[in-house]
């Protein structure tokens, strides 16, 4: 049996839907078929938006929350929060050079998090160490421990699975989305 391109795409989506448990619908026009993987309006049960810009703001907020839930779920097995994970990644990037609390705060994704309290929790888990800065006694130097580096290495292997949903975008699309998000914040 010869299949049309539309049939191939639908077969792929049905197979993918079984694995990923997402919803989609197909709309056919005179020119082409559009396949929409659960648009934001359907996701939040809202059919109309005041403007495309309002829809964008809602979509970004919803997507941010979705991503946070995904990462939180994956990190739960390691008894880490996304904010603690972010601190560990920053410190790994600084490896060999201790970081101050101010540096961590500046580089964190979630600016509302209390870096000092996060560091305290990571010290209890023996994933980071803290010592008084020799040049300024008011500051502390924070470094990642061997145990912290080992944990990040273990997580790195699994991170590929977490970001699987991003593969629905081509490399070119991902690059363009990154450009647009940078432009939006700029």
Please say whether the beta carbons of 85 and 71 come within 8 A. yes
Could you tell me if 76 and 90 are in contact, meaning their C-beta atoms sit under 8 angstroms apart? no
For residue 98, give both structure tokens: 């201790």
Phi, psi torsion values for 41, nearest 5 degrees: -60, -45
The burial class, CB within 10 Å (0-12 / 13-18 / 19+), for 85 is: buried
Give, for all 186 residues of the chain, the pLDDT tens digit.
544 455 545 555 555 555 554 544 444 433 334 444 568 888 888 888 899 999 899 899 998 998 899 899 999 999 999 999 999 999 999 888 889 999 999 999 988 889 999 999 999 999 999 988 777 777 889 999 999 999 999 999 888 877 877 888 899 999 999 999 999 999
Half-sphere exposure for 55 (CA within 13 Å, toward CB): 13
> Whole-prediction pTM value?
0.73
Domain 77-158 fold is Arc Repressor Mutant, subunit A (1.10.10)
| Beta bridge mates, 34 | 27
**Per-residue DSSP letters for the chain?**
----HHHHHHHHHHHHHHHH----EEEE-SS-EEEESS-HHHHTT----S-HHHHHHHHHHHHHHHHHHHHHHHHHTTT--HHHHHHHHHHHHTTTS-B-HHHHHHH-SSTTS-HHHHHHHHHHTTSEEEEE-SS-TT-EEEEE-HHHHHHHHHHHHHHHHHGGGGGGS-HHHHHHHHHHHHHHH-
The rounded distance, in Å, linking the Cα atoms of 41 and 118 is 36
């Amino acid at each position: 049996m010869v299949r049309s391109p539309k049939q191939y795409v639908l077969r792929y989506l049905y197979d993918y839907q079984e694995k990923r448990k997402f919803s989609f619908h197909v709309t056919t026009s005179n020119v082409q078929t559009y396949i929409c993987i659960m648009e934001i309006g359907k996701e939040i049960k809202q059919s109309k938006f005041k403007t495309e810009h309002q829809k964008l703001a809602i979509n970004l907020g919803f997507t941010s929350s979705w991503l946070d839930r995904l990462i939180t779920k994956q990190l739960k097995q390691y008894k880490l929060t996304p904010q603690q994970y972010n601190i560990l990644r920053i410190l790994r990037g600084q490896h060999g050079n201790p970081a101050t609390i101010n540096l961590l705060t500046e580089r964190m994704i979630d600016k509302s998090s209390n870096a000092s309290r996060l560091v305290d929790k990571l010290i209890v888990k023996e994933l980071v160490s803290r010592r008084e800065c020799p040049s300024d006694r008011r500051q502390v130097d924070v470094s990642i421990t061997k145990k912290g580096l080992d944990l990040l290495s273990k997580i790195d292997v699994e991170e590929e699975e977490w970001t699987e949903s991003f593969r629905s975008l081509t490399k070119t699309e991902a690059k363009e989305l990154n450009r647009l998000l940078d432009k939006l914040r700029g």
